[in-house]
Amino acid sequence: MSKKKPEATYVIGIDLGTTNSALAWAERRADADPFAPANVQLLPVPQLTNPGEVRDEDLLPSFLYLPGASDFPAGSTALPWDGERKWVTGRLAQKRGVENAGRLVSSAKSWLSHSGVDRTSALLPFRAPEGVEKISPVEASRRYLEHLREAWDAAMPDAPFTAQHVLVTVPASFDAVARELTLEAAKQAGYGDITLLEEPQAAFYAWIERHPDWRERVQLGDLILVVDIGGGTTDFTLIAVTEQNGELALNRVAVGDHILLGGDNIDLALAGVVAQRLAARGTRIDSRQHQQLWANCRAAKEKLLEPGSAAAEHPVTILGKGSGLVGGTIKAALERADIERVLREGFLPEVSSSDMPAGQRRVGVQELGLPYAADAAITRHLARFLRQQAAGIEHGSVRRGPSGLAAPTHVLFNGGVLNAPLVRDRLLATLDTWLAAEGLPKVKPLAGEDLMHAVSRGAAYYGLARDGRGVRIRGGVPRTYYIGVESAMPSIPGFPAPLKALAVVPFGMEEGTEARIPGREFGLVIGQPAEFRFFTSAGRKNDQPGDLIEDFGDELEELSPMEVAFEAGETSEVVPVSFESVVTETGVLQLWAVARDGRKWKLEFNVRERVA
């Protein structure tokens, strides 16, 4: 289990994004006024912008280019801290990948969340041509994280990165394997103990950091919807404004499930529009050219949607297949009208709050690839979240309309896709239509955020809040959790040994905290497969860690059992252990079995109320 590092001088917040990554930091000072501004700052990230040219950028594009022998002149991919660097990360990788998509690693974070593949195997670049060496999503993530660590050490030589308190953000919808692989990538990148934090919560922490007067902007009973649409995923979170000790407090009450739907999908749809236009002119492109067109449309979309842009279209070019084409390129354009139509009809259609996402008839044999959401309509996914979370959360926890719809009073936007006013306006109009149907006033946007850096800034702020220098969002566990303990009784043919339930997590235990189970030891089977049974109760709210419940009958609900084979020596054994439970910032219960000689084994599962 990770421990705080009292020697750390700084907290570092890292947004490991699908499209862009960023690093923010703040100083930890024991004598700091707990009510003083956090003073979170961004770290400029040196990176190659052209061959042989290194510049500071406030974002590190999450792209990795694997050069061929003749891609760059010798020595032109060197970095200030590594003169022999053979691959390219960041801005130049993104630019060169537009020209040669077969050597570009992108969307590594989406692949990291794909449970249908071996995420540690060499998969990327996906659809790379023969002769291109591939790497795993974990390895790609490692190289982005490593670049950020090296950038910090170059800028702050007197405060080594490994000595600081580091927080890395993940989507709220990441499963346990994706979180573990993120931690593994960080470990391989030379990180020490780190804390994972959910991106929507980090975005909200950034809003609090920017608005110390937040208690004057919201009131008791308000419900804040966080909409996070990044390059690869869409996440929804609800935060209720509650009261604690006579002061306003914040309580995270619902988190949506994994939706692999974001900017990548929009870019791919736009590439399809341009490809159809080319086909209508008699120019058909192959799969390699389509990958290039996808990357070009991403860049063109960002140019057209950036604030202040009035351009009606932006050119895109694709390398031709042979010398018969003028200049060896195919020229086309992405129009602003294309973006508006794709968003309006495909991703943000007008729907009612009772419209649910459509399923998709699956073909029996499929090409391996990312499991994108079957329905691209983000508005329908939002409707399902607000409908189903209202049915799944304890009555009175959230503000509801007469139909039962969870009715947010405020919305906070996060993610690069929401930089576009067009996208924000469409979502606000949809929410307002739903609220009007419930007889409720319009939702209020929480404005004033830098969407490209909010997650890293919020992660750094949260690091200070853990030290008592800021506001924390509460997220107490909504149930009591137990592990099954087999009674020590003689074997009786036909009758299994009675099972007792040991309370390991009490109702309301805050995320980011731990509890020791005092004065009790149990025998842990190691060295051979064993079944572990877990139980939960929403009604038994007074059981404390260490309470042993007998004859619980129907009072407890059993969860899916786990079969685990803990490593041991040459033979299996039963080891006396005590238990320690940790509920992480991402809502995962880690139950540690600790032997007398210090050996530790871990069981973990999600304890958060998820909403599909």
For residue range 168-203, what is the model confidence (pLDDT) as tens digits? Answer: 999 877 877 888 899 999 999 999 878 999 898 899
Beta strands 600-606 and 234-244 are unpaired
Q: Which residue has 């880690």 as its token pair?
A: 590
Q: On the CB side of 227, how many CA atoms lie within 13 Å of its CA?
A: 28
CA distance linking residue 532 with residue 485, whole number of Å: 9
CATH number of 263-347: 3.90.640.10
Could you tell me the strand order of the sheet in which 480-486 lies?
548-549, 499-505, 480-486, 534-537, 557-558
Tokens of 502: 């040991």
Q: Where are the domains of the chain?
A: 10-197, 216-261+372-464, 263-347, 480-611
CATH number of 216-261+372-464: 3.30.420.40
Does residue 186 or residue 291 have the better pLDDT?
A: 186
CA distance linking residue 495 with residue 477, whole number of Å: 35
For residue range 514-562, what is the model confidence (pLDDT) as tens digits? Answer: 888 877 899 998 988 888 999 988 778 889 999 999 888 888 988 888 8
CA distance linking residue 230 with residue 55, whole number of Å: 25
Asked whether residue 490 carries a pLDDT value surpassing 60, the answer given is no
Residue 125: asked if its preceding bond is cis (omega within 30°), the reply is yes
* Fold matches, 216-261+372-464 and 263-347: no
Binning pLDDT at 50, 70 and 90, where does residue 504 land? very high
Task: Return the pLDDT at 611.
Answer: 43
**Spacing of C-alpha 277 from chain mean position:** 35
Beta strands 557-558 and 534-537 are antiparallel
Binning pLDDT at 50, 70 and 90, where does residue 360 land? low
Task: Return the pLDDT at 291.
Answer: 80
CA distance linking residue 67 with residue 53, whole number of Å: 16
CB crowding 79-109: b at 16 or more within 10 Å, else e:
beeeeebebbbbbbbbbbbbbbbbbbbbbbb
Asked whether residue 323 carries a pLDDT value surpassing 50, the answer given is no
**In the chain, % of residues over pLDDT 90:** 51
Task: Return the pLDDT at 605.
Answer: 76
Beta strands 247-256 and 473-474 are parallel
Cross-strand pairs, 542: none
Binning pLDDT at 50, 70 and 90, where does residue 326 land? very low
For residue range 210-229, what is the model confidence (pLDDT) as tens digits? Answer: 998 888 999 999 999 999 99
Task: Classify 10-197 by CATH class.
Answer: alpha beta
